[in-house]
Amino acid sequence: MPEKGAPRIRRRTWLVAALAVTLLAASSVTWFAVSRAEEREDVLDANRALVARGCAGLLREELYSSVPDDERGVLDAYGTLLQPGQESRALLDCTVAWGADGGASEADVRAKVRAEAVPDRTSPGGVTGDFGLPLPSTATGSTGAADPWHTGPVATSSLLVDCPKGLDGRGRSVRDLLVSVNLPTGSDGADEGYDDYDDYDDDVPKAERLAAARTAAKVANWVSRKQGCGSEPLRTEPGAAPAKAPELCAWLSPKGLGSTPGKWSFDGNDSVYNRRAGACGGQWDDTAGSPGHLTVKAAGAESWSGVLANGAYEDYADDLMVPDPKDSGLNAPADKPVTVEQSGDDPQLALWARSECAAGPTYHRVTVTPEFDFDYGLEDGKVVLQPKDQRRLSQRVHTVLDRYLAAPDGWPRRSHCRKTTIVGEVAEWRERD
């Protein structure tokens, strides 16, 4: 017969065992949590060290405080300044990335900087625009947004800097330094289904674009110091902008162009002189009336100098919008009528010219945009340009070029342009054979 105290003893034994198991489980959870926290701290420290030492430390300011603590970063870096014994076109090419089992090229989040010498040409589209930081007249840049890796928008910046003492190691002396920067942003374009530049461009905040511009300026300054190439130090923080040149586009007037009577607007014209590129434009902007048939409703002028000159010409050539010496009908008014069909676009008559200017060989492109009244034609959606009409439009685009070249405060005079020659005309309403 069991003793009276046995059930109580067994109950106490069970309670002690249960308590021990509970304490062991709790300690295991605590140990796991502490271990996990230490692991995350180690990952965070490693990632911060990666940012601090990688890419010459040029990304530290923008990335150090935001590196993840759950994924170890990877670094891909090469270039003549990082590893002098390694051949590379780039002076600096560096990528820091996270979320990549297979390396930086497969990462979900990437920051990239690249600096390279430009021997011949570069497209002006990437380096002309709003840079966000004050630049000297010898440099030009822009910021924006892109999705180069199809993982979501990044803030971008491009910067073209003059190095008057030249960049070494290029096989021949080159004085143009091109810097490009991609920085991760808070936008998640992959989830939003963005499919082109305009969709996500406005979703990258100004502050993140400014960070990309600041990084580009730091990269340019670093390369310049390492190379001793003589470029003017760039500011890396916002401040007083260069003095404006309000008369830079004052030459552009609709008077004498056979323009539509009424108001014109001149928004977005250059107000700061840059020796590499210039742009002026105006358009009819009067809701009280309507443009008359073949009157000029818009006119403008652009110039690109140095490595931007060939880059701009090549960009237009890719779209068959440069003069073709083999087709006189594209270079001068034709001696026969031309039928223009309605397309929804506003075709221009462009006149190309070439000069020698302060920053090197230069292309100028001036344009007039005539109004086509397709109700005026003999057939719906079609009008006929007679030879006299074509000659009249040609005279007007030549008038724009003459004014542009002669303006005392205009870009060509400020850039000391000389030896100007006409390259030819391109009427966008004419089709190539």
With beta carbons less than 8 A apart as the criterion, state whether 128 and 152 touch: no
Q: pLDDT truncated to tens, each residue of the chain (433 aa)?
A: 455 555 555 556 655 555 655 555 555 555 445 555 667 788 888 888 888 888 889 999 988 888 888 888 888 887 665 555 555 568 889 988 887 665 666 667 789 999 999 988 899 988 998 999 999 999 999 999 988 877 778 999 999 999 999 987 556 678 999 999 999 887 654 444 444 444 556 678 899 999 999 999 999 999 999 999 999 999 998 877 666 767 899 999 999 998 888 889 998 799 889 999 999 999 999 877 788 889 999 999 999 999 999 999 999 999 999 997 665 444 555 678 998 988 878 999 999 999 999 999 999 999 999 999 888 766 778 899 999 999 999 999 999 999 999 999 999 999 999 999 999 999 998 765 5
Helix/strand/coil for 355: strand
Residues 6+ apart with CB under 8 A from 2: none
Domain-wise residue ranges, the chain: 48-227, 264-427
Return the DSSP state at 240.
P
Instruction: Tell me how many degrees the CA angle 144-322-311 measures, rounded to the nearest 5.
Output: 40
CB 115 within 8 A of CB 177: yes
DSSP string, 35-73: HHHHHHHHHHHHHHHHHHHGGGGTTHHHHGGG--SSS--
Q: Is the dihedral of CA 350, 355, 357, 362 positive or negative?
A: positive
* Euclidean distance between CA atoms 97 and 75, whole angstroms: 7
pLDDT computed for residue 38 by the predictor: 64
Please answer whether residues 298 and 282 qualify as being in contact, where contact means their C-beta atoms are separated by less than 8 angstroms: yes
Q: Taking the CA atoms of 422, 414, 258 and 256 in sequence, report the sign of the dihedral they define.
A: negative
> In degrees rounded to 5, what are phi and psi of residue 184?
-65, 150
Given this model, what pLDDT does residue 294 score? 92
For residues 223 and 159, the answer to whether their CB atoms sit within 8 Å is no
Q: For strand 360-370 and strand 349-357, is the pairing parallel, antiparallel, or unpaired?
A: antiparallel
